[in-house]
Amino acid sequence: MKTVVFSVIALIALTGCAQKQIPAPIAYKKFNAPLNKHLEAQTGDALFVEGIFREGEVIKIEKRVDELIPGSMFVPFPMYIEPSTLSLTRVDNRWKYYCADESYSGASFPGLGSVVRKGDCVGIRISTDGVQHEWVVDNSIYNRGLNTIWSKNMDNESVKSIKIETVKTPIEIKELKRIIFDGYYGGQLHFTWEQYNGTNKESKEFIFDFKNEPTIVGIKGNLFTVYKADNIKLVYEWNRFN
């Protein structure tokens, strides 16, 4: 019980100096499929209509990192990161967390051994305004749900070495509307409409006759022209979005 109390006290002490001003969270971006352009989709592929998402980001670590992080009662504990890629895993109102794969990172405490479990974060956190950069160990899972996040300011040299790159895989999809091409058989086009909104999902199947000539198809107010179709692929063009 004392260990838990010490951890909570230390956490309060470590976070007590935080700035009162809270920056706005990272903005979502919106994408649409291109209009009036011939496109192809394989059977089983998605014809993306539109979505709202947060871009994925990564930071590449070129050389091994070894740091001592102030922990419970400010007792330092070692953390390390091998050369690897840190992925943006979560964003809150103040911080962006870039975490290393567990096979390339770790943290330990004297007498306890490893103090991180699968799902914990060893890596870097950067304030959403881009001003603050810290080495971070979030071992809340190891501590059975206690909010235990330990950090240390990065030195200027380390900060200068950070290069954030965007990646195609988004960190979060807030809303997504898409149409899946399920195939062409029996003289008919088969599609599935999917709409994601947070944790909610709507799905519905649509079937249209197709006689190998340009045919306008409408699904949920979204119009596209199908030019060619077989059991392998679809050639189409978006005309209008709802």
**In angstroms, rounded to a whole number, what is the distance separating the alpha carbons of residues 90 and 95?**
8
Query: 168, 192, 208: which is the final residue of a domain?
Result: 168
Domain that includes residue 211, residue range: 29-53+172-240
How far, in Å, are 54, 116, 218 from residue 85 at the CA level? 19, 18, 43
* Rounded Cα gap, residues 221 and 238, in angstroms: 12
**What is the arithmetic mean of pLDDT over 130-152?**
95
Secondary structure (DSSP) of 189-231: EEEEEEEEETTEEEEEEEEEE--SS-EEEEETTEEEEEEEE-S
Q: SS3 for 53?
A: strand
Same domain, 8 and 33: no
Q: How many domains does the chain have?
A: 2
In angstroms, the CA 219 to CA 208 distance is 10
Looking at residue 35, what DSSP letter applies? Answer: B
Same domain, yes or no, for 85 and 181?
no
- Residue 3 structure tokens: 């260990």
If asked whether residues 150 and 67 sit together in one domain, one would say yes
pLDDT on residue 26: 62
Tokens 């979060």 found at: 172
CB–CB of 102/119 below 8 Å? Answer: no
What is the CA 75 to chain-centroid distance, rounded? 33
The residue from 168, 190, 214 where one domain ends is: 168
Supply the pLDDT for residue 11: 32
SS3 state of residue 5: helix
Contact status, residue 206 vs residue 192, Cβ threshold 8 Å: yes
Question: Is the pLDDT confidence value at 6 over 80?
Answer: no
| Residue 240 pLDDT exceeds 50 | yes
Same domain for 140 and 185? no
* One domain, residues 152 and 203: no
What percent of the chain lies above the pLDDT cut of 70? 89
pTM of the model: 0.64
Taking only the tens place, the pLDDT of each residue in 20-53 is: 344 445 667 787 889 999 999 999 999 888 888 8
**What pLDDT, on a 0 to 100 scale, did the predictor assign at position 158?**
95
Statement to judge: residues 210 and 182 lie in one domain: yes
Strand, helix or coil for residue 210: coil
Confidence of residue 14 (pLDDT cuts 50, 70, 90): very low
The residue from 168, 187, 215 where one domain ends is 168
Q: Are residues 47 and 62 in the same domain?
A: no
Mean pLDDT along residues 91-101: 95
- Is the predicted pLDDT of residue 17 greater than 80, yes or no? no
What was the pLDDT predicted at 186? 94
Please give the order of strands across the beta sheet that includes 222-229: 38-42, 233-240, 222-229, 215-219
Model confidence at 224: pLDDT above 80: yes
State the pLDDT confidence band at 211, using cuts at 50, 70 and 90: very high
The answer on 221 and 105 residing in a single domain is no
* Same-domain pairing of 164 and 180: no
